[in-house]
Amino acid sequence: MAPEDDVTPGGYMIWRGNPAAILPPPTLPEGRRSFGCAAMARPADLHRACGGLRHSVETAVAASAKIAKGSRREGRIPAGYTYLGQLLAHDLCAPAEGAFDYPLQGAAPAPAPSQRQSRAVPLHLETLFGPIALNRPLPGLHRFAPHPAFPMFAADINRVAPGDGSNARADLHDGRNDDSPMVAQLSALFVEAAHRAEAAFRQQGLAADAARSAARAKVARLWHRILVQDYLPHLCLPGLPPPVADRTGPREVPVEVSHAILRMGHWMVRSQYTLAADTVPVRELLAGQSGIAEKRARPGLENHWRIDWRNFFELDPAVRPQRSLALQTGIAVMFGSDFTLPAGLRIHSALVRSDNDLALRDLARSIDGGVQRVSALARRLQGLRTRYPHWVLWSADARRTMIADWFAANNLKPVPALLRDPPLYLYALIEAGKGTTRKGFGGGRHLGALGSVLLGRSIAAAIVAAEAALPPNDPALPDLDAITTMPDLVRFLSQ
């Protein structure tokens, strides 16, 4: 999960590496644009925090320690949507952030370089299959054998040993989809759907290459339906109009979504998960197992870490799925600490002493990424003001009070610059966790008004760009074409 950034001369990473850098950045991270814009918003509309980049990140350290929740209060969203959101984040954009590398206390070893990727088109499931234009063979799968205790289909991704003694790697375009068994086996559902579509098209008489290409387009459109009709309704504030694209034309993803809003997935992660019958701590699931294929080959262990999807989606009235944690307060303590995080997500102790590495990384990205000010985003959304006049978003004084109350509740000294111009990540967290929908708050059940509109309109824009790059028509597969939700997909694959 340690991504890489634009390293061209004068680019974003050059600016970020300058100890005297001043916010905002002169350019955005690679593959990003500003919400509502074809490219980068004007500098006056961009978040400036405390002015100096290093000082602004230093200021975030104390706040990040408070973006943590000791409680395990569940929300209303089934836990599978946490990992559907992770797959969405991977498919919207390639990594473009870099590890936390601010030497706030001293130098640290340079992070290991990561594989560089590009994303030709968002929301084509390139994260699993690679670009559609390359028409690569579909990834293989480990399909679990039928078992009475597992009435729903389940499969896992294949992993390939690199030959250098290190852990096996996911046989997918984007290795981040093997960050946990949950996202890996969820990815496998879409891979299986593509295999079945390809087989159906071959039966209709299409040649191998044509069948594979048609299957990719078919599953991309399936993905779009699930996002619009299942994922967004679970995450976004109820009562909003159907999302419309914030901007048509550009394929780039708004930096406000990649560097702030989508990071709400970290707030949803439980400290442990019931995969089937056994409950496993998330730290163990994130660490993975290098010999999982060999373990499953042993008698009695065939279903090791096999997911029963009834525990993650509403599939069986007799089985209540576990829920994502409520969208409030922050990151589960057990998940955000060094004790749990994989090495690639930890912040080196020589750089800064942090009680919540994941929250500090997220806050830093919201500060240094070139996102727009909350006030600028509110101006872009004025068309909604007549319909939702009571949203706190419209009032600078109400927004400032909301942030000040959070500082006071967490016994933090208020930072005047952040009261006026809070990091979007922090604003979205507070907005999601507070009270009534009438005021644009999520109550811990949904994103708030600003987070919901940014997410919905950005996904709508990405789908417009994705559909424009797909063949205009693909052959009908009525059973697959009827799928609009994740429970639909699991049931279809289980037939």
Determine the pLDDT at residue 317. Answer: 96
Q: Please say if the pLDDT value at position 184 is more than 80.
A: yes
- Pairing mode, strands 279-281 and 272-274: antiparallel
- Rounded CA separation 261/167 (Å): 32
Whether the per-residue pLDDT at 392 is higher than 50: the answer is yes
Q: How many Cα atoms sit within 13 Å of 178 on the Cβ side?
A: 19
> What pLDDT shows up at residue 105?
76
Q: What is the pLDDT of residues 35-77, one digit of tens each?
A: 999 999 999 999 999 999 999 999 999 999 999 887 678 999 9
What single-letter amino acid sits at 217? A
Q: Take residue 274 and report the two structure tokens written for it.
A: 């019931």
Tell me the pLDDT tens digit for each residue of 210-220: 999 999 999 99
Residue 167: band (very low, low, confident or very high) from pLDDT cuts 50, 70, 90: low
Taken in order of first residue, the domains within the chain and their CATH numbers are 12-494 (1.10.640)
Exposed/middle/buried for residue 206 (C-beta within 10 Å: 0-12, 13-18, 19+): middle
Sign of CA dihedral 392, 331, 407, 364: negative
Count, in order, helices (H) and strands (E) of the chain. Answer: 20, 12
* pLDDT value of position 156: 96
Give the Å distances, CA to CA, from 302 to 9, 293, 299, 305, 487.
51, 9, 7, 9, 24
Contact 58, 378 (CB under 8 A): no
Q: Report the pLDDT averaged over residues 300-309.
A: 96
pLDDT value, residue 250 = 81
pLDDT in tens, 345-379: 788 777 888 888 899 999 999 999 999 999 999 99
Confidence of residue 2 (pLDDT cuts 50, 70, 90): very low
